[in-house]
Amino acid sequence: MTKQWRKMIGATTITYTLLILYFMLLGFGRTGTVHLERDFTFILLPVDFFRLPSVSDLLHPALMDLVGFGNIAAFVPFGLLIPLLYRLRFVRFMTLFILSILVIETIQALTLLGSFDMNDVIQNALGAAVGFGSYKLGCRTTDIRRKIAVTSLSIVVLMIGIWGSFGIVSKVFTEELGPFVSLNEWKDSTGKPSTGAKPYSFEIGGQKIEPQYNVYSAEGKKVETYTYMLGNKELYLYLNYGIPDQEDFQGSITASVDGEEFLSTSAENQRPEWDMTSIYLERAKELTITIEGNERLWDVGFREMKYSWEW
């Protein structure tokens, strides 16, 4: 490599480094929000580094979708430029690069211009690794045009490989909503399978309601309480409620999980029409529903958060 080429590559590397530092420390309006920050943010556990937008996400990309790719793609040039200036083996290059990123991330956190995020460190390092690997593959040929073509193609292939691999990892380690399970399929407080609560139709606000799974009421009593074991699961609970048109407009419903009330409604604050609600329960053991008067509760059930390999 001639001195002139070396100077050009050196100048390009310095310019690109300054540009990256600007975006990491000053860009995106960081300086204007420093006075709003009160605490240092250090994210030491890398849990989201593999989350990249899917093909469907890219059809209508949001800013954060582009940030995920940018955290990798923006650092590919370092894997191309640094080896052109210095003869470094992969391990030495990656060690020095990661140390540099760790320093910058620390500065971000301590100056309140951002956060120290290990997810970013891993994504940045992957970008540099893609660049370095592509450079080495391109070096296998002496023809300049072929070298550029091989290097460029290698970058595309490696980026697609990372994207695909991350998609698989994300699918495996991301919880999704499972199928709807009705309340009457659970066990009651005695540990026995639930019985009764068979669905039947009625009208609320002139609208015919045809429950699919279950209907709960006071069953002719003044008050009726239902208790179910949730099994300490992470889930979303769904329920519909209202007072049928043919009944006197009086009654109330309360629902609580492990003693914490999340629904309390009565005829006094209800309109003559049906309503629905859902609630996220991180770890719930026991559900208690108390129905008074003419209130009806129907199609009560949950969708459990599960990993794909648990289905």
List 216's β-bridge partners, or say none.
297
Tell me 194's DSSP state: P
CA–CA distance, 198 with 193 (Å, rounded to integer): 14
List 257's β-bridge partners, or say none.
260, 287
- Check if the beta carbon of residue 259 is closer than 8 Å to that of residue 219: no
In single-letter form, the type of residue at position 129 comes to A
- Check if the beta carbon of residue 296 is closer than 8 Å to that of residue 265: no
pLDDT of residue 229: 85
pLDDT of residue 31: 62
Cα-based distances in Å from 149 to 168, 212, 240? 29, 61, 61
Tell me 183's DSSP state: G
Every domain range in the chain assigned CATH 2.60.120.1060: 178-310
pLDDT of residue 244: 94
Taking CA 110 as the corner, what is the angle to CA 122 and CA 48, rounded to the nearest 5 degrees? 25
- Calculate Rg over the CA atoms of the chain: 29
CATH architecture, domain 178-310 = Sandwich (2.60)
pLDDT of residue 309: 67
- Residue 260, SS3 per DSSP: strand
CA–CA distance, 154 with 133 (Å, rounded to integer): 8
The residues of the chain scoring below 50 in pLDDT are none
CA–CA distance, 267 with 243 (Å, rounded to integer): 8
φ, ψ of residue 308 to 5 degrees: the values are: -60, -30
- The residues, any chain, with a CB within 8 Å of residue 159's CB and separated by 6 or more, are 72, 73, 76, 130
pLDDT of residue 156: 93
pLDDT digits (tens, 9 = 90+) for 153-174: 999 999 989 888 887 777 777 7
Within 13 Å and on the Cβ side, how many CA atoms surround 285?
3
Cα-based distances in Å from 206 to 102, 201, 247? 64, 12, 13
- Check if the beta carbon of residue 222 is closer than 8 Å to that of residue 295: no
pLDDT of residue 192: 59
311 class by beta-carbon count within 10 Å (0-12 exposed, 13-18 middle, 19+ buried): exposed
**Element at 279 (helix H, strand E):** strand 275-293
